[in-house]
Structure 1
Amino acid sequence: MRTSEHTFPADFTFGVATSAYQVEGGIENDWAEWERAGRLKEPHARCGPAVDHWNRYEEDYRLATAVGATAFRISLEWARIEPVRGQFDEAALEGYRERLLKMKACGLTPVVTLHHFTHPTWFHRETPWHSPESVEVFRRYSRRCAALLEGLDARVITFNEPMVLLLGGYLQGAIPPGIADGALTMKAMENLVRAHAVARRELGERLGRVPMGISQNMLAFAPDRWWNPLDRALVRLGAQAYNHAFHEALSTGKLRVNMPGVATARVDIPEARDSVEFVGVNYYSRAHLRFVPRPPFIEFKYRDTQGRGLTDIGWEDWPEGFLQTLRDVKRYGKPVWITENGIDDRSGTRRPHYLHTHLAQVLAARAEGVDVQGYLYWSLLDNFEWLEGWGPRFGLYHVDFDTLERKPTPACDYFRQVATGKRLVAPL
Structure 2
Amino acid sequence: MRTPEETFPTHFTFGVATSAYQVEGGIENDWAEWERAGKLKEPHARCGRAVDHWRRYEEDYALAKAVGATAFRISLEWARIEPERGRFDEAALEAYRERLLKMKAQGLRPVVTLHHFTHPSWFHRETPWHLPQSVPTFRRYARRCAALLEGLDALVISFNEPMVLLLGGYLQGAIPPGIADGALTMRALENMVRAHAAARQELLERLGRVELGISQNMLAFTPDRWWHPLDRALVRLASPAYNHAFHEALASGHLRVNMPGVASTRVSIPEARDSVEFIGVNYYSRAHLRFVPRPPFIEFKYRDTRGRGLTDIGWEDWPEGFLQTLRDVKRYGRPVWITENGIDDRAGSRRPHYLHSHLAQVLAARAEGVDVQGYLYWSLLDNFEWLEGWGPRFGLYHVDFDTLERRPTPACDYFRAVATQRRLVAPGSSL
Q: TM-score, normalised by structure 1?
A: 0.99
Say if 1:3 and 1:9, in contact at 8 Å, map to a contact too: no
How is 1:294-373 mapped onto 2 (pairs within 5 angstroms)?
294-373=294-373
1:17 corresponds in structure 2 to 17
Q: Distance in 1 between matches of 2:3 and 2:225?
A: 39
1:100 corresponds in structure 2 to 100
Instruction: Return 5+ residue gaps in structure 1 as ranges.
Output: none
1:233 corresponds in structure 2 to 233
For each residue in 1:181-229, what CA deviation from the matched residue of structure 2 results, as whole angstroms up to 9, or x when unmatched? 0000000000000000000010001001110000000000000000011
Q: Which amino acid aligns with 1:183?
A: A
Please state whether the residue corresponding to 1:347 is helix, strand or coil.
coil
Q: Distance in 2 between matches of 1:294 and 1:148?
A: 48
Give the CA deviation at 1:5.
1.4
| 1:221 aligned onto 2:224 | no
Q: Distance in 1 between matches of 2:5 and 2:25?
A: 42
Q: Distance in 1 between matches of 2:98 and 2:116?
A: 20
Q: Distance in 2 between matches of 1:48 and 1:299?
A: 33
1:165 corresponds in structure 2 to 165
For each residue in 1:292-311, what CA deviation from the matched residue of structure 2 results, as whole angstroms up to 9, or x when unmatched? 11110111100000000000
For each residue in 1:269-316, what CA deviation from the matched residue of structure 2 results, as whole angstroms up to 9, or x when unmatched? 000000000000000000000011111011110000000000000000
Q: Which amino acid aligns with 2:252?
A: T
How is 1:391-410 mapped onto 2 (pairs within 5 angstroms)?
391-410=391-410
Give the CA deviation at 1:148.
1.1
For each residue in 1:92-134, what CA deviation from the matched residue of structure 2 results, as whole angstroms up to 9, or x when unmatched? 0000000000000110000000000000000000000000000
Q: Distance in 2 between matches of 1:4 and 1:149?
A: 35
Q: Which amino acid aligns with 2:35?
A: E
Please state whether the residue corresponding to 1:281 is helix, strand or coil.
strand
Taking every aligned residue pair, what percent have the same amino acid on both sides? Answer: 88
1:416 corresponds in structure 2 to 416
How is 1:142-221 mapped onto 2 (pairs within 5 angstroms)?
142-221=142-221
Please state whether the residue corresponding to 2:4 is helix, strand or coil.
coil
Say if 1:15 and 1:375, in contact at 8 Å, map to a contact too: yes
Please state whether the residue corresponding to 2:33 is helix, strand or coil.
helix
Q: Distance in 2 between matches of 1:3 and 1:76?
A: 40
1:291 corresponds in structure 2 to 291
How many residues get paired?
Answer: 428
Q: Distance in 2 between matches of 1:327 and 1:151?
A: 33
Give the CA deviation at 1:79.
0.2
Please state whether the residue corresponding to 1:5 is helix, strand or coil.
helix
Please state whether the residue corresponding to 2:395 is helix, strand or coil.
coil
Shift of the 334–92 alpha-carbon distance from structure 1 to 2, 3 Å rule, reads same
Q: Distance in 1 between matches of 2:312 and 2:292?
A: 27
Q: Distance in 2 between matches of 1:93 and 1:152?
A: 15
Shift of the 416–151 alpha-carbon distance from structure 1 to 2, 3 Å rule, reads same
Q: Distance in 2 between matches of 1:66 and 1:53?
A: 17
Q: Distance in 1 between matches of 2:158 and 2:244?
A: 17
Q: Distance in 2 between matches of 1:377 and 1:402?
A: 24
Q: TM-score, normalised by structure 2?
A: 0.99
Give the CA deviation at 1:63.
0.1
Q: Distance in 2 between matches of 1:298 and 1:152?
A: 44
Please state whether the residue corresponding to 2:308 is helix, strand or coil.
coil
Q: Which amino acid aligns with 2:377?
A: Y
Say if 1:248 and 1:254, in contact at 8 Å, map to a contact too: yes
Q: Which amino acid aligns with 2:87?
A: Q
Q: Which amino acid aligns with 2:86?
A: G
Deviation beyond 3 Å, 4+ runs, structure 1: none
Q: CA RMSD in A?
A: 0.9
Q: Distance in 1 between matches of 2:264 and 2:164?
A: 17
Q: Distance in 2 between matches of 1:289 and 1:102?
A: 45
Q: Distance in 2 between matches of 1:153 and 1:320?
A: 33
Q: Which amino acid aligns with 2:370?
A: V
Q: Distance in 2 between matches of 1:61 and 1:292?
A: 47
Give the CA deviation at 1:47.
0.1
1:387 corresponds in structure 2 to 387
Q: Distance in 2 between matches of 1:323 and 1:153?
A: 29
Give the CA deviation at 1:397.
0.1
1:67 corresponds in structure 2 to 67
Instruction: Return 5+ residue gaps in structure 2 as ranges.
Output: none
2:119 corresponds in structure 1 to 119
Q: Distance in 1 between matches of 2:311 and 2:82?
A: 37
Give the CA deviation at 1:262.
1.0
Say if 1:220 and 1:287, in contact at 8 Å, map to a contact too: yes
Q: Distance in 2 between matches of 1:353 and 1:9?
A: 22
Q: Distance in 1 between matches of 2:77 and 2:236?
A: 35
Please state whether the residue corresponding to 1:265 is helix, strand or coil.
strand
Give the CA deviation at 1:3.
7.2
Give the CA deviation at 1:149.
0.9
Please state whether the residue corresponding to 2:6 is helix, strand or coil.
coil
Q: Distance in 2 between matches of 1:51 and 1:219?
A: 28
Q: Which amino acid aligns with 1:377?
A: Y
Q: Distance in 2 between matches of 1:287 and 1:374?
A: 25
Q: Distance in 1 between matches of 2:337 and 2:88?
A: 31
Please state whether the residue corresponding to 1:86 is helix, strand or coil.
coil
